Amino acid sequence: MSLDKIKVIAFDADDTLWENEPIFKSAIEAFCSLMAPYGAAKQCEQGLYAVQMKNLPLYGYGIKAFTLSLIEAAMTLSNHQVSQRTVSEIMDIGQFMLEADNPILPGVKQTLEALTQNYRLVMATKGDLLDQERKLIRSGLEGYFHHIEIMSNKFSSNYKKLVTHLDLAPDAFLMVGNSVKSDVLPVLDIGGHAVHIPFHTTWEHEHAEIPSAHAQFRSLNDISELLPLLGV
């Protein structure tokens, strides 16, 4: 994997720069606790996931979309018997998520500080615009990035638009993230480079086969390993 041509390094945000999925996991546990009168936790999780997948093309990603899916799932799981009080408690779960801290992951600040000396850095993430902007401002990492791209999705076409906007050849672009499906495969598809840094928990929807044999792919254990990989 030769990285001599790299000019821009883009970073996913959630579970790459800061913790995010644990907040969703806790929210699902709280939701399924509320839904306990209507079925087992496993049934609740499966029902919620099915609603999320149905709604994804309409609502997109983010906490507000997730909260709407929680309410719909509650109606479905309870056969529309869920109380107004429980619906209110579900909305409280969503508000708690919006206000929750997203701790910066180890090594992130030091790595960005070192890389910004030699590369243009971009944050390329998907989700709700307001949610992601709020998390970025809270993180204090905004100053490291030349450009912020908050996408509705991460398909090859989205990355092509980003690379074009940056006036960049695809092989001068490196994407770093925790999702093989969103951060790796579509970038490799357009001719870019991709580094996968797995997080200890990943949403089922983001699972995909790791392209281990691809010449422009590398998997690392920690974001700080980017520095020796790039010779910084």
Task: Using CB atoms within 10 Å of the CB of residue 57, give its burial: 0 to 12 exposed, 13 to 18 middle, 19+ buried.
Answer: exposed
Rounded Cα gap, residues 204 and 208, in angstroms:
9
Pick the CATH number of 21-99 from 2.40.110.10, 1.10.150.240, 1.20.120.1200, 1.10.275.10: 1.10.150.240
Which CATH homologous superfamily contains domain 8-18+104-230? HAD superfamily/HAD-like (3.40.50.1000)
Q: What is the mean pLDDT of each run of 10 residues along the chain (232 residues)?
A: 90 96 95 96 95 93 94 96 96 95 96 96 93 93 95 93 96 96 96 94 76 91 96 88
- Answer left, alpha or beta for residue 127, where phi above 0 means left and psi between -120 and 50 means alpha: left
Amino acid at 223: I
Residues 108-150 pLDDT 10s: 999 999 999 999 999 999 988 889 999 999 999 999 999 999 9
- Where do the structural domains in the chain lie, given as residue ranges? 8-18+104-230, 21-99
